[in-house]
Amino acid sequence: MLMEAILQALRETFPAETIEARAVPIGETFVALPPDCLHPAAQVLVERFDLRHLSTITGQDTGSAIELLYHFWDGGGLTLRTSLPREEPHIATLTDLIPGAAFYEREVCEMLGVTFDGHPDPRALLLPDDWDKEQLPMRMTNDQSIDHPTKRLPDQETHRPND
């Protein structure tokens, strides 16, 4: 089974880590890794198994850490999960192995503030050019203004009916 072979290869590559596979609906296998193991793990997938289809990179703020989930697909779903600290999170980029990861990493960077070391083009993907870089939309926050923005953009006029 491909998944078994992959898990075996990961265990060989990282003898110090406990590699456990967890079945997650729908038909997905989750494997947790520390952040600096992620690039070597992806290298194993790409070079030994030719598993190059990265569906997306999910970033989420769980309150205690920033979690990154790398969703791969090769006949079955494999997700590599890693946790980063909330202050100044950074991780190596996968764009040297999988160029298609570029857009996903850009989005995680602008939404959660994760720095991808070595990314060739770390511009914002979706947010406007004059967006305040300190405001990270997908971080958990009690600040209500992120969901009800009242801050106006610099050159925006207000159009009141009697003006």
Partner 1 sequence: MTTRPSDYLTKRLTDQMTRITIPIGPQHPALKEPLSFLLTVEGERIVESVLRLGYVHRGIERICQNRNYVQNVHVVERVCGICSHIHTTVYCQGVEALLGLQVPPRALYLRTLLCELERIHSHMLWLGVLAENVGFTTIFMYAWRDREIVLDIMEELSGGRVAHAVNVIGGVRVDVDEPQVDSILMRLDELEQRIETLLGVIQHERTFQVRTRGVGHLSAEQVRRYCVVGPTARASGVDVDMRRDAPYAAYDRLDFRVITAEEGDVWARTMVRVPETIESLHMCQQLLTGLPDGPTTVRARRRVPPGEVVSRAEAPRGELIYYIRSDGSDRPARVKIRTPTLPALSTLPDQLRGVHTADVPAVLAGVDLCIACADR
| Residue 52 and residue 18 in contact, taking contact as beta carbons nearer than 8 Å | no
| Residue 30 and residue 82 in contact, taking contact as beta carbons nearer than 8 Å | no
Segment 82-87 long-range contacts (CB within 8 Å, at least 24 positions apart)? 82/32, 82/33, 82/34, 82/35, 82/37, 82/38, 83/32, 83/34, 83/35, 84/35, 84/114, 86/61
Q: How far is the CB of 85 from partner 1 (least distance, A)?
A: 19
C-beta closer to partner 1: residue 36 or 140: 140
C-beta closer to partner 1: residue 147 or 163: 147
C-beta closer to partner 1: residue 12 or 99: 99
Q: How far is the CB of 89 from partner 1 (least distance, A)?
A: 16
Q: How far is the CB of 163 from partner 1 (least distance, A)?
A: 26
C-beta closer to partner 1: residue 85 or 149: 149
Which residues would be at the binding site for partner 1 (CB under 8 A)? Answer: 24-28, 52-56, 58, 60, 62, 69, 71, 73, 75-77, 79, 98-104, 124-128, 137-138, 146-147
For residue 143, give both structure tokens. Answer: 């600040």
